[in-house]
Structure 1
Amino acid sequence: MKKRIFAAALVCAVLLAALSGCTIQIGGGSESAPASTQSQSPSQAAGGENASTSAPASVGQTADGITEDEAKGIALEHAKVKEEDLTGLRIRQERDDGADIYNVEFYVGNQEYDYEIRVSDGQILQADYDIEDDFYTSMTSAATYAEADARAAALARVPGAADQHIYMHLEQDNGRLIYEGKIVYQQMEYDFEIDAGTGDFISWEQESVFD
């Protein structure tokens, strides 16, 4: 009887051992699933890297600014001077206070214009206007009819007018030196031109200051 009980116990032990081995195998199989899930992560990471590298990069663009010809046009328009009237022109690019500028210089007769224009947007930073004294002096020396005589001749045509009523200057017109002036007296305005070589009146006009 004891042998049968021992045999039965032995059989049960063997069966339990067999069942225990199956459980371990099943557990091993169940644990293998997460491993396969983790194996997908590198591919997903690679896909993420590809997506990030494929995105276009933002590239900033800087404007080139205006050209020398455009700077010249801006200066001439501001001075109300035509290019065909220029007797001299010089344009150079410089850097001033950290900004690129065009220095535009040009001449019209004895008049000198000097502009500083910003390259980036064409804004006028500085504008100067001068009359070259040496040019005017050379013209004055070339005039054979004295300015004082021209003033006296013009005033003689307007009885009562004096020096404080006359405005006159010497200029060159198509290579000809002339005195151009104006007399304002007793509500009348007189415009005249006198040849600086001969003293002859080239023109004489008069009108009311209210016209």
Structure 2
Amino acid sequence: MTTKGDLIMRKKFLVMSILLTTLSATSAIAASHISINDARAIALKKVPGGTVTSIDLDYERNKAIYDIDIILNQYEYELKLNAQTGSGISITKELRDDYASSQSTKFISMEQAKNIALKKVPGATVDNIELDYEGGRGIYEIELSLKRYEYDLKLDARTGSGISIKKELRD
């Protein structure tokens, strides 16, 4: 005969089993993605000599996709890579709107901008970095996270100097 205590123990065991299965499946999915650095390297092999301006991990039709923007000379390339295999899904090439204004300007690299941001927020993780233009001026927009906070930094793309930093409590 099953007692009330036995039923409670069985329910607890069932709940724990479901939680452990969910956690292991979630970590297996996360572990199966190529790293952001690997995605960057693959993209630069497809557009040699280009400069990566943004990398985002998105989901399209329940598949993890790296959306990568690269500039090279007067063109902007948008690449979509399968985040699990690193294989190319699509490449789009367009003439850049800002090409004429940026030809004479040398910008710091995305890696240098990332390092500057990490010095401003020690211990943080860079979640996103993009090269944008505001009023004809190159700006790195960098999103970081640290513990319970999100940081939005703007750096001058030419000098690396800080323009603004915002700190918000994460949702």
TM-score by length of 1: 0.33
- The structure carrying a bigger strand percent of its residues is 2
Q: Which gives a bigger RCO, structure 1 or 2 (Cα 8 Å, sep 6+)?
A: 2
The structure with more helix, counted as a fraction of residues: 1
TM-score normalised to structure 2 length: 0.40
